[in-house]
């Protein structure tokens, strides 16, 4: 066991990742949009927090229909963010501090303004025609033109867009300005490989890879019988997905580069495991969506669902076991630019419990087996947008497309329910500007008008005040990351064991190293105080969200305040 564990060590297992959403991180010019120079100015903040890998959401040239996930040139930086010399400088600043730079590779689709697509749509015999997925229309019994099949876009409506010039439809699983590339074409795969090499040669240390399990579509393009996200069963981990991932994996290996693939809509965990198992040569780790779907109701994301803690326990335990037992690796995340804020979603963001809840998230996440991902603002416990926001405060295409389906036709009650769900789950929740301090616009921009409204609570929740306060959420993250590294054999390479599985308030787990060293993490997800019968004796309090010392945990019970979390070395 010992030597096997040795072989599996990797730099990206021992580090933690911080995700920057460039538009909302730090504006250095007063344009109202964040930029690379702004990120550079905050590198020391990130170093002090203790993160090791900085992942930038897309910074490439883009018409920004989907916040840069629609790329029109993979080698050019979108001018509002700066230029390529800023990327070089950021890379150097990170590398000087022993940190890594990870870029976002979005190659399931491009922007419709990419030269490849502009060519492709010109004519059926254009050399780039086969770089995208074109199909002739179907016609119904009345002779009406219809899309080639019933697949649905992730952003509402059909996944096919009609193009008059050549009387064909192209596939676009996201918005109509995001045509899907045809990975069946070897020239497309070669182009993706070239983009990877371009950035790896320039010193990038790896990639987060957007919807990477969508790249291989069932070539018979059958109609779907699913109710939600029709068609995804025919392209999520499609027939040639792993073959293509192995090609990417070979390049990543040459550079000892890191990769995390985003993999939504997967129902068979064996597919996910294949993508990350150590002997397969595909990716370092993947983002699965099981925790993200926990509050999605019968009609998808914007329908309500109440979930018990036991559901989260089952899911966490499942993924911890799958990866540990099969030489895979977990990407540990509870937030990103597509998800609401973890403190609002998984615990309690009311004024009495918000701070404790945000600390709980830190401790809960950082000590699990896998690489922790922290999304900008998570480290200070940023929350969802206020309930009072009007629809014109929301900016995200996914949320607005959904609203457009209902705003003129639905009754007032339905509209009110939808607004409740948007405030809980819209991607906008994560995209409000970073709350740096209590100055106007939270120190995000010097201009009066940030591209997106700042969350009203920035005077109470901001980085400057938390860096100064030793018991803040920020310092809870900092300490948790520090302890994770200090006890690497336990927290990075150790086994995971769920404790007190039946308890509906407490989420407790143990981590055990191969040499027997162990730790216990206890998180009170409830709003009530709990006297928890502790099964073990502790040697040291590693992190406590409530300032507990060893004396407080030596009896047979640990008294946990509402939303309190504690990590103990045994």
> Of the two residues 68 and 372, which places its CB atom closer to ligand NOJ in the complex?
68
Q: Which is nearer to ligand NOJ, 32 or 179 (CB)?
A: 179
Helices 241-254, 269-276: inter-axial angle, 10-degree rounding: 20
Q: Which is nearer to ligand NOJ, 260 or 418 (CB)?
A: 260
Helix extents (H) in 295-388? 309-325, 342-346, 354-366
In the bound state with ligand NOJ, the residue whose beta carbon lies nearer, of 58 and 372, is 58
Look up 352 and say whether it is catalytic.
Answer: no
Strand 565-569: give its sheet, edge to edge: 495-499, 506-512, 518-524, 565-569, 540-544
CA distance 291 to 298: 16
112 part of the active site: no
Catalytic residue among 70, 161, 180, 210: 210
Contacts of 149 (CB under 8 A, 6+ apart): 160, 221, 222, 223, 224, 231
Question: Which residues of this chain interact with ligand NOJ, rule CB under 6 A?
Answer: 66, 69, 106, 174, 210-211, 262, 337-338
Instruction: Give the Cα separation of 62 and 113 in Å (integer).
Output: 8
What is the rounded CA–CA span in Å between residue 192 and residue 207?
12
Q: How far is the CB of 538 from ligand NOJ (least distance, A)?
A: 40
Least separation in angstroms between residue 66's CB and ligand NOJ is 5
- The answer to whether 126 touches 137, Cβ cutoff 8 Å, is no
Catalytic residue among 86, 180, 262, 396: 262
Q: How far is the CB of 270 from ligand NOJ (least distance, A)?
A: 23
Closest CB to ligand NOJ among 64 and 457?
64
Q: How far is the CB of 570 from ligand NOJ (least distance, A)?
A: 38
Question: Which 8-state DSSP code applies to residue 410?
Answer: S
Identify the sign of the CA torsion 61, 64, 69, 71: negative
Question: CA-CA distances (angstroms) from residue 27 to 34, 57, 288, 441?
Answer: 4, 15, 31, 11
Q: Least separation, in Å, of the C-beta of 303 and ligand NOJ?
A: 20
Residues 275, 142: Cα–Cα separation, whole Å: 45
Cβ proximity to ligand NOJ: between 203 and 264 the closer is 264
Task: Tell me the residue number closest to ligand NOJ, measured at CB.
Answer: 69
Shortest CB 99 distance to ligand NOJ, Å: 23
Q: What are the φ and ψ backbone dihedral angles of 420, each rounded to 5 degrees?
A: -60, -40
Token pair 């939808």 is found at 418
* Active site residue ranges: 210, 262
């Amino acid at each position: 066991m010992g030597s096997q564990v040795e072989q599996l060590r990797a730099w990206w297992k021992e580090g933690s990742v911080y995700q920057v959403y460039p538009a909302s991180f730090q504006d250095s010019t007063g344009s109202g949009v964040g930029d690379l120079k702004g990120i550079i100015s905050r590198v020391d903040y990130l170093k002090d927090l203790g993160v090791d890998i900085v992942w930038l959401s897309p910074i490439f040239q883009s018409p920004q229909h989907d916040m840069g996930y629609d790329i029109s040139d993979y080698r050019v930086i979108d001018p509002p963010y700066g230029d390529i010399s800023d990327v070089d400088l950021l890379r150097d600043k990170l590398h000087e501090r022993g940190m890594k730079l990870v870029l976002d590779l979005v190659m399931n689709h491009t922007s419709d303004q990419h030269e490849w697509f502009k060519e492709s749509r010109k004519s059926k015999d254009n050399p780039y025609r086969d770089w995208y997925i074109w199909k002739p229309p179907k016609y119904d019994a009345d002779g009406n033109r219809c899309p080639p099949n019933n697949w649905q876009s992730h952003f509402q409506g059909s996944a096919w867009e009609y193009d008059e010039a050549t009387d064909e439809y192209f596939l676009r699983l996201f918005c109509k300005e995001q045509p899907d590339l045809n990975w069946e074409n070897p020239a497309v795969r070669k182009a993706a490989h070239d983009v990877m090499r371009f950035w790896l040669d320039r010193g990038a240390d790896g990639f987060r890879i957007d919807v990477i399990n969508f790249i291989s579509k069932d070539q018979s393009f059958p109609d779907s019988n699913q109710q939600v996200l029709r068609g995804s069963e025919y392209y999520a981990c499609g027939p040639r997905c792993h073959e293509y991932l192995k090609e990417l994996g070979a390049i990543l290996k040459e550079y000892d580069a890191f990769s995390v693939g985003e993999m939504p809509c997967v129902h068979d965990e064996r597919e996910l495991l294949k993508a990350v198992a150590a002997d397969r040569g595909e990716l370092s780790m993947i983002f699965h969506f099981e925790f993200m779907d926990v509050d999605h109701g019968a009609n998808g994301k914007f329908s309500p669902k109440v979930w018990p803690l036991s559901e989260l326990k089952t899911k966490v335990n499942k993924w911890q076991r799958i990866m540990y037992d099969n030489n895979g690796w977990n990407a540990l995340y509870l937030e990103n630019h597509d998800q609401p804020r973890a403190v609002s979603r998984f615990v309690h963001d009311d004024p009495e419990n918000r701070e404790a809840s945000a600390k709980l998230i830190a401790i809960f996440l950082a000590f699990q087996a896998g690489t922790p991902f922290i999304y900008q603002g998570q480290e200070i416990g940023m929350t969802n947008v206020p309930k009072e926001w009007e629809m014109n405060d929301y900016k995200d295409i996914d949320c607005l497309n959904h609203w457009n389906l209902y705003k003129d036709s639905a009754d007032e009650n339905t509209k009110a329910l939808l607004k409740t769900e948007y405030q809980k789950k819209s991607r906008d929740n994560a995209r409000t500007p970073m709350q740096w301090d209590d100055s106007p616009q939270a120190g995000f921009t010097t201009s009066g008008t940030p591209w997106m409204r700042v969350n009203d609570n920035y005077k109470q929740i901001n980085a400057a005040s938390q860096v100064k306060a030793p018991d803040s959420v920020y310092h809870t993250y900092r300490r948790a990351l520090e302890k994770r590294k200090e006890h690497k054999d336990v927290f990075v390479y150790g086994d995971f064991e769920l404790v007190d599985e039946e308890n509906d308030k407490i989420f407790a787990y143990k981590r055990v190293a191969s040499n027997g060293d162990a730790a216990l993490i206890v998180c009170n997800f409830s709003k009530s105080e709990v006297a928890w019968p502790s099964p073990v004796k502790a040697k040291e309090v590693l992190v406590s969200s409530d300032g507990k010392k060893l004396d407080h945990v030596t009896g047979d019970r640990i008294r946990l305040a509402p939303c309190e979390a504690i990590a103990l070395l045994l």
